[in-house]
Chains A and B, each alone.
Chain A
Amino acid sequence: MELTEHTAQRLVAAKLYMDTHFHEPISLEGISEQAFFSRFHFHRLFCRVYRKTPHQYLTRKRLNKAQELLQQNLSITEVCTEVGFESTASFSLLFKKETGLPPQSYRQQWMVKKQQAKVQPRTFIPSCFLQNYLERKTSGTE
C-alpha cells in the first residue's frame, strides 16, 4: 500500500510513541489525536501497515518487554506493573497465551539456559563452526 511521506511520518511517530510510552495508559483517542488522524482512520491505517490493531501491537510490545524484565531480578508483580498491566492475573494469562508458558516457568527456563550457556557454551554451537578448534584439541597441537 502506497503511503505519502507525510502520512507515513505521522503514523510512524505514533508507533514510536507507543514504543517508548508502552508502560503508560495509552488510549486510541489520545494516540490518534496526537498523530492528527481521526480515531477510525488511524485504526484502519495502523492495521493495514502493521498487520495488527494498535491494541494488539501495544500488548505484544508490553509482553516482549516483560520477557526481558523476567530475565532480571524482579518479582512477577513488579514486571507486570513495569510494563503497564494493571492486573497480575490478566498479565499472566496473556503472557501464557503469547509465549506458551506462565511468567514463572518462562523465568525458570531462561535461568536454566543461562546456566548452561555459562558452564557448557559449546552445547549451543554447531560443531562445524568450531571445527578448527576441535581439530586442534584432538590433535593436541595446542
Chain B
Amino acid sequence: MITKMSHTTLFVTDQDKAYDFYVNKLGFKVHTDVTMPQGECEGDEEEKAKQVMMRWLTLNAPDQPDLEIIIMSVNSFDGFDEEARKAIRVLLDRGIMGAGVFTTPNCRATYEELKAKGVEFKSEPREQFYGIEAVMLDGCGNWFSVTEPKMH
C-alpha cells in the first residue's frame, strides 16, 4: 500500500539560480544539500574530468516538511543519456515545463510579494472555478500555478 509521496523531482537549468529562487524568494527550507565529491568517482583522470558532479539538493515548502522537492540539474542528472538530457534541456530552455501547483492562503498577496521580489509571472491573479490563480515562472525552465483554493 502506497501511503504518500515523500520526494518529487524538479529538473532545472541552473541549481544555484533555483536555490536563490526557491529558498531566498519563495522561502522554502533546505532539507539536504550534498555533493558527490570527485573522490567518489571511479575511472582514470581523463574519465573523471569528463564527469559532472551531482549535487543532491532537496527542499521543503514551508508547511510541508514531509515532501522533499529534489532540485535536479538537467546537466548533472546521472540517469539521462545525452539524447534525453538534450530533450529535457530543450523543454526547459523554452520554459514550457508545467511543473505543478503551489497553494497559498491568498493569491493576490503572494503575487504582490513575489512581484516585489522580482519574480516573473505568466499571468496575474484571476478568478477560476476552483479558486484564484496566478501563473509563476521559476526562471529555471518551469512554470507553476499559484492557487488560492476556493473555500467550500
| Chain A residues in the interface with B (C-beta under 8 A) | 1-3, 5, 8-9, 11-13, 15-16, 48-51, 64, 117, 121-122, 124-126, 128-133, 136-137, 140, 142
Flag if B106 contacts A1 (CB, 8 Å): yes
A142 — which chain B residues lie within 8 A by C-beta?
Answer: 41-44, 47
B33 — which chain A residues lie within 8 A by C-beta?
Answer: 117
Flag if A12 contacts B79 (CB, 8 Å): no
| Chain B residues in the interface with A (C-beta under 8 A) | 7, 29, 32-37, 40-44, 47, 54, 56, 70, 77-79, 105-106, 108-109, 111-113, 116, 132
B36 — which chain A residues lie within 8 A by C-beta?
Answer: 121-122, 125, 130, 133
| C-alpha gap A12/B116 in the complex (Å) | 9
A2 — which chain B residues lie within 8 A by C-beta?
Answer: 108, 132
| C-alpha gap A141/B7 in the complex (Å) | 30
* Known contacts A3-B106, A12-B112; A137/B34 CB under 8 A: no
Flag if B32 contacts A117 (CB, 8 Å): yes
B109 — which chain A residues lie within 8 A by C-beta?
Answer: 3, 8, 11-12, 15, 49-50
| C-alpha gap A9/B78 in the complex (Å) | 44
CB distance from A32 to the nearest CB of B (A): 16
| C-alpha gap A128/B72 in the complex (Å) | 14
A8 — which chain B residues lie within 8 A by C-beta?
Answer: 106, 108-109, 111-112
| C-alpha gap A137/B47 in the complex (Å) | 13
B112 — which chain A residues lie within 8 A by C-beta?
Answer: 5, 8-9, 12
